[in-house]
Structure 1
Amino acid sequence: MGVRVSKDWQAVADAINTRMEQLGLSQKELSERSKVSPATLRLMQQGANASRSATTLAAVSTALGWKADHLGDVAAGRPASGDDAEQDLREEVQALRGEVAELRAGLEGLTAKVARLSKS
């Protein structure tokens, strides 16, 4: 008979909720991406003490941009396996900052053009 190791479902909930906030994902969007029901996601987000299959954990991990075993590692109290999600997020933020700067410059140009036209 194998020894049953308890899982830290609250740590899983915290990881999911933090990542969803970082990515701006709703529960519905995560459900669609992961193919996990909203009811199951809700329980996971609440840290409900209910065993989750490795398949479910992997689906949610992948949908959140992590390696498939990320949430399994979190549940088991292991450090997340060499995952680049944080670096990816930093790169995405940097790219968005560049896009915002371009949009700002374009808007300033349009504002100046409108000002010139209105003086005519």
Structure 2
Amino acid sequence: MPNWEAVSVAMTDRMAELDLTQADVASKAGVALMTVRELQRNLTPRRRSPRTLAALSEALGWPRSRLEDLSNGDRGEEPTLPGTDVTRELGRLRQELAELSARVDAIEANGERSR
């Protein structure tokens, strides 16, 4: 059974470390934003294409096999950095802010159209 929680934590930490949004990662990897969101939030645990995981790994500056290895239970040699919990929380908050901002923009755009 794949360990999608490990993938979620690793992605969140790395995105915070690199100051990347879900949209940034999706664009760099050439995958759908929903795919990044699902993996980062562990929303829909299901089998993922090795090609998708490889593209996301590279977008995050890792070797192609990093996320697939994590999903298979291999923690690799990734060191634990001081303040990881704070970094993870900061990354989560940044992501939520970006998502809320996008929602406000969409609401404002819909309001402009209905005038």
Higher relative contact order (CA 8 A, sep 6+): 2
Q: Unaligned regions of 5+ residues in structure 1, if any?
A: 1-5, 87-120
Q: Which runs of 5+ in 2 are unaligned?
A: 82-115
* Deviation for aligned residue 1:22: 0.3
- Of residues 71, 74, 79 in structure 2, which corresponds to 1:75? 71
Q: What count of residue pairs does the alignment treat as equivalent?
A: 79
Q: Deviations over 1:4-53 (max 9, x none)?
A: xx100011011001100000001111111000100111110111311111
Structure number with larger C-alpha Rg: 1
Q: Which residue of 2 aligns with 1:24?
A: 19
Runs of 4+ in 1 over 3 A off after TM superposition: none
Matches of 2:75 and 2:20 in 1, distance apart?
24
Is 1:46 paired with 2:62? no
* 2:20 paired with 1:14: no
Alpha-carbon separation, structure 2, partners of 1:37 and 1:65? 18
Identical counterparts, % of pairs: 34
Distance in 1 (alpha carbons) for counterparts of 2:74 and 2:22: 26
Shift of 1:79: 3.0
Q: TM-score, normalised by structure 1?
A: 0.61
In 1, the alpha carbon distance for the partners of 2:48 and 2:15 equals 19
